[in-house]
Structure 1
Amino acid sequence: MSTILIVDDEYLIADILGYALEDEGYMVVKASNGKKALEVLDRERPALVITDFMMPVMDGLEFAKAVRERPTSAHLPILLMSGAQGGIGRTKPELFAAVFDKPFDIEAVISKIREFVLPDSY
């Protein structure tokens, strides 16, 4: 089963996105900030990461840079979801495969995820 890591300190957003992705056939793991996400990344080996920008401890930009620096995860597609910092993410295509502004269209997010990772139900 393909695993997706959701990194967001807003639990409601992470839960809504997680439930939608599970309904699509993905396994979902979550972390509330970039530092915790790096620990999950080592343990779970996700096929794709969705991250918020503004988070405590380690923000989405710092997290994406850390992911790219690791040989085992440098290839991972990272989708950025941000309420205010989407413009910054759009200037970093080497870090983010796609950028979505909050509030996001869940169908557009799922469609983009399918470009990178097929769920098991296919």
Structure 2
Amino acid sequence: MTCDPDRGLLRITLSGFFTVDDVAAYEAARVLHVSRLRCPIGQHLTLADVTGLDIQTQDVVAAFTRVVGDPRYRPRRLAVVVPHTLTRIQAMRAVDGPGVRVFRSVAEAEDWLLSDPEAETAA
């Protein structure tokens, strides 16, 4: 996990298989990194690359859903990069909501995150 304070951007890369304890460690790291951004909480952007993430157990998906849904740290925009349909379905179950989009490449996700949201709604 890295942050770009100038852009208010949090970059997350998740891979492998998680336990509920791993999700708790992820949550602590996310709180720390969001605090380093130069924008108000909730106004930041997040790019989550989960292309290396294995299919997770239901308890881990539930834990991620709780963490990602925490309104104190929910980003203004969340771009999730997923490799295939099954991961996409599981990811959308965990993060679905306003300001969330799923992409197949990091470049597409970043372009959307850094685009002007006003221009997007006018189109």
The change in CA–CA distance for 1:61 and 1:77 in structure 2 (over 3 A counts) is farther
Aligned to 1:40: 29
Q: TM-score with structure 2 length normalisation?
A: 0.50
Q: TM-score with structure 1 length normalisation?
A: 0.50
Aligned residues: 91
Q: CA RMSD in A?
A: 3.6
CA offsets 1:34-62 (integer angstroms, 9 cap, x no match): 43321122112152221425377985674
The answer as to whether partners of 2:78 and 2:113 remain within 8 angstroms in 1 is no
Q: 1:7 aligns with which of 4, 8, 13?
A: 13
The change in CA–CA distance for 1:116 and 1:7 in structure 2 (over 3 A counts) is farther
The change in CA–CA distance for 1:71 and 1:96 in structure 2 (over 3 A counts) is closer
CA distance in 2, matches of 1:100, 1:35: 25
The Cα of 1:81 is off from its aligned counterpart by 1.8
The answer as to whether partners of 1:81 and 1:99 remain within 8 angstroms in 2 is yes
Structure 1 position 73 matched with structure 2 position 62: no
For structure 2, the 5+ residue unaligned runs are 1-5, 17-21, 38-43, 118-123
CA offsets 1:44-101 (integer angstroms, 9 cap, x no match): 2152221425377985674243221x23113443222222321444566317711113
The percentage of aligned residue pairs carrying the same residue is 8
Structure 1 position 93 matched with structure 2 position 96: yes
Secondary structure in structure 2 of the residue aligned to 1:111 = helix
The answer as to whether partners of 1:65 and 1:95 remain within 8 angstroms in 2 is no
For structure 1, the 5+ residue unaligned runs are 11-32, 118-122
Point out the structure with max Rg over C-alpha: 2
